[in-house]
A and B are shown apart, each in its own frame.
Chain A
Amino acid sequence: MLGLAADRLRADMNRLLAFLFHQGILDEQFLQLQQLQDESSPNFVSEVVNIYFHESEKLLRSLRSLLMDREFSDYNKMGIHLNQFMGSSSSIGANRIRNVCVAFRAASEQNNRAGCLRALELLEHEYCFLKNKLHELFQIEQQRVLAAGVRYPMQNI
């Protein structure tokens, strides 16, 4: 029963991953990331992703405050932020966010504030979406690990 649950959870996880890939939300870099996770660092992915969330929220906050500023002119700084965002997004394979970042940066290079605002909205939306989905994924994984953790000792014994 428990084994079945683990299998189902694994299938759920795969489905979710497949969905994320299909939608272009994630790309193969995420798989690479998963491959890096092994016994020596069991929580590698979630660790990295959490750092990513942490950093991204900071970046998003500062981006928003930059844009909300009345006499806003610091497109350069925004570009740096966006670069960072893009770099980390491509590192974890958050493909769609990265694409939005590209658009965002293009808008910022043209000093197109309206475009920047639009892109920021979109970015925040995508970010929330990704965050939710990844949280979901990690939850499933945790459950799976728990389920597997229950099962393996039983098998071993």
Chain B
Amino acid sequence: MGLKLQQSQHQHHSVAVKVNEQTGTKRGYTFIQANRAWLPKFLLLWVMVMAFLSTWIYKKMDADIKVRRKEVLSSMCDERARMLQDQFSVSVNHVHALAILISTFHYYKNPSAIDQETFAEYTARTAFERPLLSGVAYAERVVHSERGEFEKQHGWTIKTMQREPSPVRDEYAPVILSQETVSYIESLDMMSGEEDRENILRARATGKAVLTSPFRLLGSHHLGVVLTFPVYKSKLPTRPTVEERIEATAGYLGGAFDVESLVENLLGQLAGKQAILVNVYDITNSSDHLIMYGHQNQDGDLALLYESKLDFGDPFRKHTMICRYQQKAPTSWTALTTAFLFFVICLLVGYILYGAAIHIVKVEDDFHEMQELKVRAEAADVAKSQFLATVSHEIRTPMNGILGMLALLLDTDLSSTQRDYAQTAQVCGKALIALINEVLDRAKIEAGKLEMETVPFDLRSILDDVLSLFSEKSRNKGVELAVFVSDKVPEMVMGDPGRFRQIITNLVGNSVKFTERGHIFVKVHLAENTKPVVDAKVETCLNGGSDGGVPISDAHQFKTLSGYEAADERNGWDSFKHLVSYEESRYDASINMTVPGETSQSVTLMVSVEDTGIGIPLIAQDRVFMPFMQADSSTSRNYGGTGIGLSITKCLVELMGGHISFVSRPQVGSTFTFTADFGRCKKASFNDTKKSNTEDLPSSFRGLKAIVVDRKPVRAAVTRYHLKRLGMLAEVAGSVKIAASACGKNGSSCGSKIQPDIILVEKDLWLSVEDGGLSLRMLDWKQNGHAFKLPKMVLLATNITNVELEKAKAAGFVDTVIMKPMRASMVAACLQQVLGIGNKKQAGKDVQNGSLRSLLCGKKILVVDDNMVNRRVAAGALKKFGAAVECAESGKVALKLLQIPHSFDACFMDIQMPEMDGFEATRQIRMMESQANEQMNGGGIDKGFTRKGEWHVPILAMTADVIHATYDECLKCGMDGYVSKPFEEENLYQAVTKFFKV
């Protein structure tokens, strides 16, 4: 008890440890899981990076666009500048040509070939050549000394620009020839205008065309520049100095460029004039740019401008053209949209990833939680089974005490009443233990821990046993209880006898509980036989049941075992007969032939349990197999029980690979039918195990002949089945008369095939016949003079009163009465009594005790236990069975003693010991053994050991703990089994038989 408690404590602890381990190892630290706290930060970072990236993209695209814009601007600007320059230079060239014309025709010719009229006409006609010039005029150089003469010659005075007579100067440059468009400047002194004067001076010094800075032109309000060419009187030397030039100057040809309108004109010819703004500046004075064209204050795109140089041929003057876009650069929607879309997509991608990560984290969390819960549930399950085991153990222990004391009590001298009470108490206690076992079974099945054994067993003897269990009850109720096993069912089958017995017990127990009259009939046959049976049923129905052999005296009676109606007609004689006869014919036909199907490994049996009880109410029929359900609550009041039996039965049947079903009619009865798979038994193993597992039926009846007198064919078949098992030949007779006549006939023909040794008469049949008649027959018989052997008369009865018994004895059934239900062994015992065949039997307990003694006798056994008292007790118990016992007080000592070679046959090992526990010790012993075995095998020399095989000392654990897990652990570390402590005889026997062969 103490040990066990600690063990369970330990187990609990280990469960907890396991939980920790599992959670520890299974918590897979994935990357996402590990960085779960960082996830939002990752998302934020991602968004920021993406925002940055998209901005960058935007900027890049925008810059590209700007560059392109700039290129466009520059190309446009250059184009304009070039055009302007070209046009300008064309005009300048023409003016140059004009200057040469004047010098040629005005000065070289004498008299002058050009006068105002000619000049005007010529210039007017060649004006198309100078589109940029509004007009040209020629001014002559006049020094002051020549002024008077000049004025006289031309007939007008030299005027200043302000149209006043010119004041006195060194020099004058009055216009003498002019184009019509500028005729208003004739006679004006060009030297009087500041710009013109400067221009004139520069022109004659350089000899090239020079330009003025822009100014408002006379006569128009446009900005313009004046182009001035010097005209020389004589041909100049090749490299003239400035003085020479001034000396040679005859006059100046000038033209006004109306730059504004000209540029306007020019730009108008070009495409895209609206797109850009053009300004032309005179930048001779770098600090003060003079505008030649365009507005100074414009609202164009100030950010971007392009400057192209203009060269109008005057090295002194510098001009430039500045272009800019009319409109500010439009926001680049493409770039903006691209960047924005990129950002949005990235945002979505980021969010999706984030969502996925969050989901993964959540799922993993859930998974871990579930895993934890699962582990806990499993732990709870283990705890539950431990609890069940513990509780059942706890209940069993005091129950064992009660039962032990009751057994003790029964050994004392008791009055019969006291004995009865004590026996009742004992029976109740046993029932309680059975119930506890049942509950435990249920729990085990639920946990899937129930394992089916496969051992050979005798089905028939188990059925007999079960029936004998209920015989008392059924006899008291007057219910007939019978079993029939088809001949085709193998004698030994492989399966779990305990579980099979449990199923049958449950079903029969139920039937007995709910049946007050009629019969309970257990029938076993091969499942493959059902089909012909069904066919047969149809056939007999067609035949109309014309059966000569069986007289039906009572029309009310059904052809069942007891004559009561059964729920399932298939069990009636109509089909049953067919089964029997089918078997018989088969049996006859195949006596020397292997029965088909025998070769197959498994055999499916169909077992039906038929009763004529109260039946199951229709509403309750579908929940019959649910645990703790009874038909209704009144059932448990009336009949008791927990309602767990059928559900266990169902589970067991399913574990045996079959299924269970039932037919039930209220107030008529129920028939439960189930199938189960069993293995066929090998003939060889069959003989070995037969002894231990089945009660031996005496063979002394072989060949005896019997007549069964019974009107009810089913019952007769059952009786015949039992007789057959004893090896007897049985005939069925419908009535005493027939039997008697059969005997008589045979008697007269003396020594023919049937000379019955026994006549078995059913009680109710006998009661219905006048006793006189029967006795007369008997007397007849005796007088017929069969002196050598009279058949013994046996009465078969379910229950019999004393009066009837007397009557029976008087009527000639001196021999015996066989009480139903019949069992082969019981029938055998009765017949032994009748026939006087002796057979001494031993009591079961002695047999076992004896065999335990025979198993252990002379064996040398090592008991290892640290507890001296326990050691002594174990040693005492083993010594009692004749074993030589040696003790060791610790695992180490045991190891020393078990050094190979040693002479121990077995070792009983306590599990809980200080220093080295039983598991550890066993492990070491096994290690030692395997080393020794290896050496032995390696050496190949049998060193004279008597053992034929390898070293393997059977080690049995001694434990107070009955939990399955402990057993598993025992096996795991190499133990062969375990016995509970303190020793119980049966337990010890079971454990020891496994490896001690007698």
A interface list, Cβ under 8 A from B: 14, 21, 27-29, 31-33, 35-38, 40-41, 44, 47-48, 51-52, 55, 79-80, 82-93, 98, 101-102, 105, 109
Contacts and interface: CB of A to CB of B under 8 A. Distances in A.
Given A21-B405, A28-B405, A91-B982, A36 B880 contact: yes
State the 9 A-B residue pairs at the shortest beta-carbon distance, nearest first.
A86-B2, A88-B869, A28-B404, A87-B867, A36-B876, A91-B870, A52-B869, A91-B873, A48-B872
A104 B984 CA distance: 28
B877 A29 contact: no
A27 B401 contact: yes
Given A41-B879, A91-B870, 6 more contacts: A47-B872, A48-B872, A55-B867, A82-B2, A90-B2, A105-B6
Contact of B983 (A28, A31, A32, A85): A32
Nearest to A32: B982
B635 to A, nearest CB: 37
Contact of A28 (B400, B868, B870, B876): B400
B13 to A, nearest CB: 11
A138 to B, nearest CB: 16
A90 B914 contact: no
Contacts of A55: 867-869
Contacts of A109: 9
A12 B102 CA distance: 178
Nearest to B914: A80
Contacts of A38: 880
B2 A87 contact: yes
A36 B401 contact: no
B981 interface: yes
A48 B400 contact: no
Interface of B: 1-3, 5-6, 9, 397, 400-401, 404-405, 408, 412, 866-870, 872-873, 876-877, 879-880, 912, 914, 960, 981-984
24 contacts: A14-B412, A27-B397, A27-B401, A28-B404, A33-B876, A36-B876, A38-B880, A41-B879, A48-B873, A51-B869, A52-B869, A55-B867, A55-B869, A83-B3, A84-B866, A87-B867, A87-B912, A91-B867, A91-B981, A92-B873, A105-B2, A105-B5, A105-B6, A109-B9
B2 A101 contact: yes
B405 A102 contact: no
Contacts of A84: 866-867
Contacts of B982: 29, 32, 90-91, 93
Given A48-B876, A86-B2, A31 B869 contact: no
Q: Say what secondary structure dominates the interface of chain A.
A: helix
Contact of A88 (B5, B401, B870, B912): B870
A82 to B, nearest CB: 7
Contacts of A33: 873, 876
A143 B408 CA distance: 23
Contacts of A89: 2
A154 B870 CA distance: 39
A10 to B, nearest CB: 11
Contacts of B2: 82-83, 85-87, 89-90, 98, 101-102, 105
Contact of A51 (B397, B872, B984): B872
A102 B873 contact: no
A21 B662 CA distance: 49
Contacts of A101: 2
B879 A102 contact: no
Contacts of A52: 869
Nearest to B867: A87
A105 B872 CA distance: 24
Contacts of A44: 876
A36 B885 CA distance: 14
Contacts of B866: 84
A117 to B, nearest CB: 20
Nearest to A106: B5
A38 B877 CA distance: 11
Contact of A41 (B876, B912, B981): B876
A14 to B, nearest CB: 8
A131 B5 CA distance: 25
Contact of A90 (B1, B401, B408, B912): B1
Contacts of A80: 914
A36 B873 contact: yes
Contacts of A29: 982
Given A36-B877, A41-B876, A92-B873, A87 B3 contact: yes
Q: Give the residue among A21, A79, A90 with the most B Cβ atoms within 10 A.
A: A90
A144 to B, nearest CB: 16
Nearest to A36: B876
A105 B5 CA distance: 10
A139 to B, nearest CB: 21
B853 to A, nearest CB: 12
A90 B868 contact: no
A90 B514 CA distance: 44
In this complex, the member of A40, A41, A48 whose beta carbon has the largest number of chain B beta carbons within 10 angstroms is A48
A42 to B, nearest CB: 12
A91 B876 contact: no
Nearest to A18: B405
B882 to A, nearest CB: 9
A51 B875 CA distance: 14
Counting chain A CB atoms within 10 Å of each CB, the highest count among B405, B412, B869, B912 belongs to B869
Contacts of B397: 27
A80 B877 CA distance: 26
B297 to A, nearest CB: 100
A83 B868 contact: no
Contacts of A82: 2
B1 A86 contact: yes
A83 B876 contact: no
Contacts of A92: 869, 873
A151 B983 CA distance: 34
Contacts of A32: 877, 982-984
- Give the residue among B2, B867, B877, B879 with the most A Cβ atoms within 10 A: B2
A4 B397 CA distance: 36
A83 to B, nearest CB: 6
B850 to A, nearest CB: 15
A25 to B, nearest CB: 12
Contacts of A21: 401, 405
A47 B869 CA distance: 10
Contacts of B1: 86, 90, 98, 102
